C-alpha cells in the first residue's frame, strides 16, 4: 500500500437518482457563450466558431444539501443555470459527434456560480477567469439522472427560480453547440475520463444572488434541486 504523507482528500461526488452508489467527480469542464441570448446580454459576439471552454476544480462541486457560502472578494455573485453532462467512460482519444453519446453516464442541473465583478475585470485586462469561476463551492449541482432514463432532452426547458421568481429559462434546443459537438471539441483538447462533468452553458437572465437567497433549478420532467446561499 502506498504511504501518503497525509490522507488524500475524498473524491468529490454527486448522488444518482434511483441508486445508492455515488458518482465520483474527476474534472469539471464548462462551456461559455452556448446560448445566443446570454452571449448577447454579456456583450459578446454571437458567432458559432469554436466553443469557449474553462474549468473549475473538481472539489468546487456542491452536492444537493451542501453548504454554499457567499464567496469572498466579490460584491456581484451571479447564478448561471446549466445542463450538466456526466461521463461514465473514458474516451479513446478524439470522439466523433456520433460516438459521444456512448460516453454519457447521465445528466444533471448545475449552477455555474460566477464572481461577475472579478470576471469583468479579468476580461477588461485580458487576464484568466479562474478566480471569477473556479472558486470554492462554485458548482452546486443536482443528483444525476442516468441517460437511459432520459428522453427528448432538447425539447425540455432548463429553468432557475430565485426566491420563487423565475430568473432563467430556455429550451435545451437553444444551445448553440449540442452535447455531441461539445464532447467532440473537448476531446480534441483533453483526455476525457469517466467522472468528468461538463457544464453546458447558461441561457439569458443571469443576475445577482444575495446571502439568504433560495434557488430552485431544473429541467422539466427530469430533474429538480434547490439550495440556499449562506
Looking at the chain, the number of H-run helices and the number of E-run strands are: 4, 17
Q: How do strand 61-62 and strand 77-79 relate by DSSP bridges? A: unpaired
Which of 16/223 has CB closer to Mn ion? 223
Q: Could you say which of 80, 174, 185, 196 contacts Mn ion (CB under 5 A)?
A: 80
Contacts of residue 25, defined as CB under 8 A and 6 or more positions apart, other chains included, come to 11, 12, 13, 14, 58, 61, 195, 197
Out of 74, 142, 168, 202, the residue judged to bind Mn ion by CB under 5 A: 202
Determine which residue in the list 100, 110, 112, 185 makes contact with Mn ion, applying CB under 5 A.
112
> In the bound complex, what is the minimum distance in angstroms from residue 10's beta carbon to Mn ion?
26
Told to check if 51 binds Mn ion by CB under 5 A, we report no
Cell numbers placing 153: 432532452
Decide if residue 176 touches Mn ion (CB under 5 A).
Answer: no
79 touching Mn ion, by CB under 5 A:
no
**Any contact of residue 174 with Mn ion (CB under 5 A)?**
no
Name which of 76, 220, 210 is nearest 156 in CA terms: 220
Nearer to Mn ion, 16 or 201 (CB): 201
Least Å distance, CB 147 to Mn ion, is 22
Distance CA 112, CA 118 (A): 15
Interface ranges with Mn ion (CB under 5 A): 80, 112, 202
Amino acid at each position: 500500500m502506498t504511504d501518503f504523507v497525509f490522507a488524500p482528500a475524498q473524491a468529490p461526488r454527486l448522488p444518482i437518482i434511483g441508486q445508492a452508489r455515488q458518482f465520483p467527480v474527476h474534472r469539471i469542464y464548462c462551456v461559455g457563450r452556448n446560448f445566443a441570448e446570454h452571449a448577447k446580454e454579456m456583450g459578446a459576439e454571437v458567432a458559432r466558431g469554436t466553443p469557449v471552454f474553462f474549468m473549475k476544480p473538481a472539489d468546487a462541486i456542491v452536492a444537493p444539501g451542501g453548504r454554499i457560502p457567499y464567496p469572498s472578494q466579490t460584491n456581484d455573485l451571479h447564478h448561471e443555470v446549466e445542463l450538466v453532462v456526466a461521463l461514465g467512460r473514458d474516451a479513446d482519444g478524439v470522439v466523433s459527434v456520433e460516438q459521444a453519446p456512448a460516453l454519457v453516464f447521465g445528466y444533471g442541473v448545475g449552477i455555474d456560480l460566477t464572481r461577475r465583478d472579478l470576471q469583468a475585470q479579468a476580461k477588461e485586462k485580458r487576464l484568466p477567469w479562474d478566480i471569477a469561476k473556479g472558486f470554492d463551492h462554485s458548482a452546486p449541482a443536482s443528483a444525476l439522472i442516468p441517460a437511459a432514463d432520459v428522453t427528448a432532452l432538447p425539447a425540455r426547458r432548463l429553468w432557475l427560480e430565485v426566491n420563487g421568481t423565475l430568473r432563467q429559462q430556455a429550451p435545451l434546443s437553444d444551445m448553440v453547440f449540442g452535447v455531441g459537438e461539445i464532447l467532440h471539441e473537448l476531446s480534441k483538447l483533453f483526455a476525457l475520463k469517466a467522472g468528468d462533468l461538463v457544464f453546458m452553458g447558461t441561457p439569458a437572465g443571469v443576475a445577482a444572488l444575495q446571502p439568504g437567497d433560495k434557488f430552485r433549478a431544473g429541467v422539466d420532467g427530469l430533474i429538480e434541486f434547490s439550495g440556499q446561499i449562506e
